[in-house]
Amino acid sequence: MKGGFSFQLLKGVEGEGRLGRIATPHGSFSTPAFMPVGSQGSVKSLDPADLMEIGTEIFLCNAYHLYLRPGTEVVKRLGGLHRFMGWDGPILTDSGGFQILSLCALREVESEGVRFRSHLDGSLHFLTPEKVVRIQEELGADIMMVLDDCPPHPISYGEAKAAEELTTQWAKRAKRAKSGDAHALFGIVQGGIYSELRRQSAHDLMEIGFDGYAIGGLSVGEEKEITFEMTEMTTSILPNDFPRYLMGMGTPEDILVGVRTGVDMFDCVLPTRCARTGILFTSFGKLNIKNARYSRDEDPVDPQCGCYTCCNFSRAYLRHLFLSRELLAYRLNAIHNLFYYHSLMRDIRQAISQDTMDQFEREFFSQRGKGNGGDSEEEGGEIVC
pLDDT-based confidence at residue 2 (cuts at 50, 70, 90): low
Helix H or strand E segment including 9: strand 6-13
pLDDT-based confidence at residue 303 (cuts at 50, 70, 90): very high
The catalytic residue among 204, 211, 267, 375 is 267
Q: Please list, in sequence order, all residues whose beta carbon lies within 8 angstroms of the beta carbon of residue 134, skipping any fewer than 6 positions away.
A: 177
What amino acid occupies position 168? T
102-117: per-residue pLDDT in tens?
Answer: 776 678 899 999 998 8
Q: How far apart are CA 300 and CA 297, in angstroms?
A: 8
Query: Mean pLDDT, the chain, as a whole number?
Result: 94
pLDDT at residue 107 in the model:
84
pLDDT-based confidence at residue 375 (cuts at 50, 70, 90): confident
Give one DSSP letter per residue of 166-189, joined into a string. Answer: HHHHHHHHHHHH--SSSSEEEEEE
Q: How far apart are CA 12 and CA 235, in angstroms?
A: 12
Helix H or strand E segment including 11: strand 6-13
In whole angstroms, how large is the CA radius of gyration of the chain? 20
Active site includes 94? yes
Segment 181-190 shows an average pLDDT of: 95
N-to-C CA span, the chain: 33
Q: What percent of the chain has pLDDT over 70?
A: 95
Q: How far apart are CA 245 and CA 188, in angstroms?
A: 9
CB 318 within 8 A of CB 278: no
For strand 27-31 and strand 285-288, is the pairing parallel, antiparallel, or unpaired? unpaired
CB 263 within 8 A of CB 231: yes
Global pTM reads 0.95
Q: Is pLDDT above 50 for 167?
A: yes
Establish how many alpha carbons lie within 13 A of residue 151's alpha carbon, considering only the half-sphere containing its beta carbon.
22
Nearest by Cα to 137 from 66, 35, 198: 66
CB 196 within 8 A of CB 188: no
Domains, in order of start, for the chain: 6-268 (3.20.20.105), 274-373 (no CATH)
Q: How many other C-beta atoms lie within 10 A of the C-beta of residue 214?
A: 30
Active site includes 267? yes
CB 175 within 8 A of CB 128: no
188-241: per-residue pLDDT in tens?
Answer: 999 999 999 999 999 999 999 999 999 999 988 899 999 999 999 999 999 999
Q: Is pLDDT above 50 for 357?
A: yes
pLDDT at residue 381 in the model:
45
CB 22 within 8 A of CB 243: yes
pLDDT at residue 370 in the model:
66
CB 7 within 8 A of CB 293: no
The catalytic residue among 94, 142, 149, 204 is 94
